[in-house]
Every structure is written in C-alpha cells, then in structure tokens.
Amino acid sequence: MAYIAAKNCVFAALLLSWSVAHAALLECPANAPAEWRVGRARLDRARVFSYLPGSRLDERALPEGSPDKEWQIGGSLYQSWNLKAGTAPMIYQVDCLYVGTPRFLRYDARLAGRCLARRRVRREVLVPGSLEFRCR
C-alpha cells in the first residue's frame, strides 16, 4: 500500500511540474526589447484583440476588447479577459506597448484561456511602470 501511495505522489509531482512549466503561454516583458534602443522603457499598456477568422480588418484598427472583470485587492488593480467565453472560434492577439515608443510586441494568444493584468495602485492612482500582463 505504501508503494502505491508513493507512486501516486511521484505521478502527482510530475503532473504538477508539467502543468506549471506549460502554464505560461505568453507574458509581456517588463521592459522594451534592447534592440529597440529606447533605454529602459517600461511596459505601459496591453491590448487584447479578438476577431473572427477570415475577417477583413485594417491592421491599424483591430477591435480591442475590454476586460471582462476588474477588481482591486489591497494595493493592486486586476483586470481579466476570458478568451474562451464565446461560442465561435476567435482569433486573439495581444499587443504589449511601452512608454516612450510607438512600437509594440504582438503575440498570438489563440491557445490562451485567460489573460490577467495587474498594476500597483497608490492613493487611488496607478503606479507608472508597474504593469504585469500574462495569458495562460
């Protein structure tokens, strides 16, 4: 019996480590890429786009989605986007925008189920450069 319990514990540990290793599908880096040569430009904003496959859209005017939920806990403001809420197969993209540059990083987020943004808040004001953004 102890052998079976130990075997189940090993299997659970392997399963947990696999799911943790494969959980983060995408994350906006805290700073702009060095090759942009914009200094230490911090992550300022993330945009989540969703549209139907085959849609004819202007690349400069993609439909940006608002967060599904927003809440505050302590000194942090959270925003959440549920990417699996609709019935139709949608295309999801995320843009990571950085302070002081019009450039952005774009990620394909079709495999993600949920995106979460977190910002620090001090005296009811968002702290600049405190954005963290991840999709899983």
The DSSP result for 39-73, as a single string, is: SSPBEEEEEEEEE-TT----GGG--BPPPSEEEEE
Task: List, for residues 1-36, the tens digit of each pLDDT value.
Answer: 444 444 444 334 433 343 444 555 899 999 999 999
Task: List, for residues 94-127, the tens digit of each pLDDT value.
Answer: 999 999 999 999 999 999 999 999 999 999 999 9
Is residue 110 within 8 Å of 91, Cβ to Cβ? yes
Is residue 103 within 8 Å of 117, Cβ to Cβ? no
Is residue 50 within 8 Å of 62, Cβ to Cβ? no
Structure-model confidence comparison of residues 23 and 90, the more confident one: 90
| Angstrom distance (rounded) from CA 112 to CA 127 | 27
Segments making up each domain of the chain, as ranges: 24-135
| Angstrom distance (rounded) from CA 4 to CA 47 | 48
Pair type for strands 76-82 and 114-122: antiparallel
- pTM value > 0.75: yes
